[in-house]
Structure 1
Amino acid sequence: MLGQALLMALRALRLNLLRSLLTMLGIVIGVASVVTVLAIGSGAQSQVTRQIRAIGANVLMINPGAARQGGLRLKAGTRATLTEGDVDAILEQVPQVRAAAGSIAGSAQAVRENRNWNTTVNGTTTNHFVVRDWTLSSGRTFNATEEAMAGKVAVLGSVVARELFGTDDPVGAEIRVMNVPFEVVGVLSPKGPDQDDVAFVPLSTAKLRFLGSAGGTARDAVAYILAKAVSDEAMARAKASIEDLLRQRHRIQDDQEDDFKVQDPSAAAEAQRGATRTVAILLTSIAGVSLLVGGISIMNIMIVSVTERTREIGIRRALGARGRDIRLQFLCESLVLCLAGGLVGVVLGATISLTVARSAGWTTVIDPSAVAVAVGFSAITGLFFGLYPAHRAARLDPVEALKAE
């Protein structure tokens, strides 16, 4: 019976093809909107997750404060207030911190034979890789002697390794940075294009050879500090302890503002993800309204169809069809309309998502479960809004239906 009802529904919809297509339009737009919004929203959340993973788990970033010039406050990081001594103090006196590293960075040209590449040179310590959960694809990081004696060694990000060495193994080879020769001792595993275009050298080497001390005001100054908490639960306590410790070390009075700023990048990323989720829910709700309008349109058209096909219904009843058979026929027509509209909407939504991803450079993720939910919701819409027209058709009096013109 169900198979016959579906075949009859398809035949009836094909006989009024233009009206069927126009009826499906609301469902198509609604499902396409849901798929597009969820794809863009999932892509945004996926990108935020990658950013958090690229930074490292449980990482706190400590930046210098803002300097003042002529009564004007400059941007954050313009005061050289952080030192290597601060890093040591954090490691020794903040039990919630597992590892910490100070860094200075600058842009420089890296040269290897006839190849060259402008990249970021980061002077830091081995703890930097521990803080950021950054593994090696080959080689090693700096040893204690190289850090203490300003050794001319470098660890390359995957982008720099590829640009300077192609498919060759960089470990053991020599590169030049600002005419200073460096031996490549390691290559880092990829973390993402924005993270991998970097070359790391020992902090003492960076200060001595080409970058100088941060800001030039203190020999042991660093541009920023990264600290890794022992767990997620310890993040808040670690942040508070670091702030108390640095205020004490920098002799900041109670009525004075901090000359540093401790930030939790993962918290900011989570906030961004929450905002993205809220926008996605809002847009999905709007798409749901579109589905609702499409469902109402289907109900209206089905009511008109019942009125137009009154004689057909009377003939079927005269030949022995029961009320539930008529109800099933019209429900199947409504269901087929919505499912067809849902499938077309999925294809249209996926096309729009891919187009947006290519043209705007956004990340989109088409989740099969989201597609299934959108199609399933369109089917529910068809059943719900087709119920009244189907019930109305089933209640028609056979004799009166046969008299209809």
Structure 2
Amino acid sequence: MISLWTVLILICYPSRGLLTVAYTLEDEQNLQTALLSGYSKGLRPGRDRSFPMTLNMSFGLLSIKEFDLNTGKFSLTGVFQLNWIDERLSWNPANYNQTNSTVISQSLLWLPDLINVNPYEEITGLRLGLSMIVESTGLCNWYAIQTFETVCDTDVTNYPFDTQICSLRFYVWSYEPTDIDVVFVAPKVVLDLYSENGIWEIQDSATYTKINVYNYKEIIVDLFLKRRTSYYVVSLILPLIFIAFLMGFVFLLPADSGERVGFSTTVLLSIVVYLTIIQDILPESSEPNVSTLGFILVTFVVNGSFVVIAVIISLRIQSQSCQKAVPLCINRVALYLRRRRKTKDMVEPLDTKSELNYEDEEEKVTWHEVAKCFDMFCFILLQIFFFVTSTSYLIIVNT
């Protein structure tokens, strides 16, 4: 079976590459005239019709042209390499001055009708190919190069750390399974001439056939794609994480600075902008799953809304009149926190710690002290929420 590199050499060097040949133009012309005389390209090869004709096949990927997650359009350029035996095209090389092979236009010979059954737009056949290389044994080598546009069902659950499986699916049209037997000679896609894509990395591939529910053999080429994440980590994930991390620090701003509400709403709007960007990139479908990153962003938006509310509540506590008594339950909590703080701040010998005097425990706390305790509680709670949410997301997308 001739490799992809060989066919390129044959294209670049019409005189069969760098090999020295003895036959002349007249020899090859006489050969093709004899081969095509009475040849019917509408009849499949194979003298014994009780046995299927074997169609050997392999697929070489040249480039990934486009992959649109919104529409599911997957476009790639590749080469199908097919060969089969056509007894009508065999000859004795000695009769034609040792002519062992010839190149014949594909429009003059029989070709298998391979139809793409999962196209993005119109159903197309595999017809765009190079001229066919025919050997003296009757072996026909056909290289069909084409840009294929197919529908690829995307799963954006782990975006932008997602992997996708996209397939090319073909049928041999107009023939029963007993007429043609398709066999892949290579279990994977040939990547010798592949040009790397800047967004998608090919993790694995598979080429195989299977019998569908209608008892027809389906030709399948699977590509397992993994997104290159460096760009998304730098431009999306890290900025989002740092913006969400800043959310809790609004409670460390002095209340009399007048910047708390503006700070919290600015951070909230920044997260909303990222949510809008993600919604523009990802498809609108909910199957099989919605992006985990979308859920995280919505969680951050809801969290930011509660932060704005908590900031307003904190400012309201700060502005309470000194004559207004602090409720007893709040007063007890504030006294407990004050006692804990003083215990940590005081440095006394071990034998005198039992004699610590908490005469101020019965003192009444002020609304200003209540507001400070509320701010510290909100800050700690937000940092715990941030680390739990971020860690959970990273665990989910890496499992």
Fold-level match, TM-score > 0.5?
no
> Normalising by structure 2, what TM-score?
0.29
> Normalising by structure 1, what TM-score?
0.28
Between structure 1 and structure 2, the one with the greater Rg is 2
